[in-house]
Each structure stands twice: as structure tokens, then as C-alpha cells.
Amino acid sequence: MAKVFLMIDGRQVESEPGKTILEICRDNGIDIPTMCHLDGLTDVGACRLCLVEVEGVSKLLPACTTRIQANQVIHTQTDKLKKYRRMITELFFAERNHICAVCVSNGHCELQELGYKVGMNHVHFHYLNQKCDLDASHPWYVMDHNRCILCTRCVRVCAEVEGAHHWNVMNRGVQARVISDFNTPWGESITCTSCSKCVEVCPTGALWSKQTLQGKMEKHPEKIAELMEKRKMSL
């Protein structure tokens, strides 16, 4: 199969056709922050952190859902992109009620790590301080909407890997919420298999185990990619 040649940040790289910009960047050690992306799941371009500049294209493109083309000239680390990534990160914190000091994922949170990576030391936006519910009706797990960033990893892993289709998203904008079944309490679900895959892939403290203490919730989302790879090999 013919190789595709393109320029990324002034460096010529080559790849097999059909890959996304994010894939080719990671293959070549080029770091682009993401939150909604997870190896093994379908990309949806929800978080917009992986936006890149492509010469000849007037708008920024999400690297996770944009396929590479021959002779593209791509920029991933411009001042404009760094500004956007910090702004997006600040908006994550401003929209919900992320109190790191009392979170079960404190010290093990992808959103927290992202804040450090983009150099965020305060939030320029007004906090919404919206009232968000906490669903502790499941015997083992908790859904805390105060810490959800709507990455939809839980929705996709439940549908694409477990096949239960338990989670979904209701409403739009700041009123959007991840819901259990048809917006029923998690503990009353007739579709949840209690597999814990959604808990493992959640990048924040939105989904956690009741057995976990503050700052002790360590997750292993990479297991999903390993599971999907084993599934492919068995087919």
C-alpha cells in the first residue's frame, strides 16, 4: 500500500492512508491533549482539545476525527491552539463543580493533569455554580454530575464494548446530562450489567466506586484498548 507523506510541525512524516491526524501524531511522538478520545472506542470529537491547524483550511479541525491526506501541512503547537486548549480546559472547570480537594480522583484525574499541562493556574470565566445531582442508587457505584465533563466515554464503552447501551445523553448545552436508561436511577436500571467499564474509562471523579476513599480512585482506561485488541485477534 502506498505511503502518505505530510508535514507536521515542520517535520516530514509518512503513514499508511486512512489514519487520523491524532493517530499519526501519536505514532510520531507528537503530543496533542485529548479528553473524549480513548483507544478502542469510536471518536466523536466532543472535547475539541485536539484541534489542529491545517494549511489551506480556514477552520480548526479535530485531530481525532480528521483523516490524513497526502501533502497536508499541519500545525499542532501554535500559540493560537495553546490559547484555545487552555480556554477549553477552563470552561470544563467553570461549567460544573470540580472541587479537587474532596474528590475521590484527586491526584489520579485526567482533567486535573490537563490543567497542569496547559498551564492553568486560575479560571478566567464565571463559574456557573449549577445544581447537579448525585446518583448513589447503584449498590456499588456512584454517578456525580458535578464532576462530569460530557466526554461520553461511558456512553461509548457501554454501547461498543459491553453492548448494554445503558448510558445516554439527555438535553443540550449546560443542561446536558449523562443518563441511566430513560433517565431512571442507576440502581433501578434493567440494562446495567455492573461490569464497571464505564467507571474505568471516566477521566474524572464523575463515576466512582463506593469502596473508594478521597484521592484513592485509580482507573485503568487503557484496559479497554487491550480488551478490544484481544477481541480482534479472536475473530
Q: How is the chain split into domains, by residue range?
A: 4-77, 101-226
Whole-angstrom CA distances from 197 to 128, 134, 161, 235 are 30, 19, 9, 22
Q: What is the pLDDT of residue 14?
A: 94
Whole-angstrom distance, CA of residue 50 vs CA of residue 129: 27
225's enclosing H/E stretch is helix 222-234
How far is residue 2 from each of residues 5, 14, 16, 17, 153, measured CA to CA in Å?
A: 10, 10, 7, 8, 34
Phi, psi of 79 (to 5 degrees): -60, -35
Q: Is 4-77's fold the same as 101-226's?
A: no
Average pLDDT over every residue of 11-27: 95
CATH of domain 101-226: 3.30.70.20
pLDDT at 232: 79
DSSP for 21-43, please give it: HHHHHHHTT-----SS--TTS--
Alpha-carbon radius of gyration of the chain? 19
What fold, for 4-77? Answer: Ubiquitin-like (UB roll) (3.10.20)
Mean pLDDT for the chain overall: 95
Reported as a single tens digit per residue, the pLDDT across 134-183 is 999 999 999 999 999 999 999 999 999 999 999 999 999 999 999 999 99
Residue 1 has what pLDDT?
A: 63
Q: What is the pTM of this model?
A: 0.94
Strands 4-8 and 73-75: parallel
Instruction: Return the axis-axis angle of helices 110-117 and 79-95, rounded to nearest 10°.
Output: 140
Residue % of the chain over a pLDDT of 90: 94
* 67-123 tens-digit pLDDT: 999 999 999 999 999 999 999 999 999 999 999 999 999 999 999 999 999 999 999
Range name among 11-25, 171-185, 218-232 with the lowest pLDDT average = 218-232
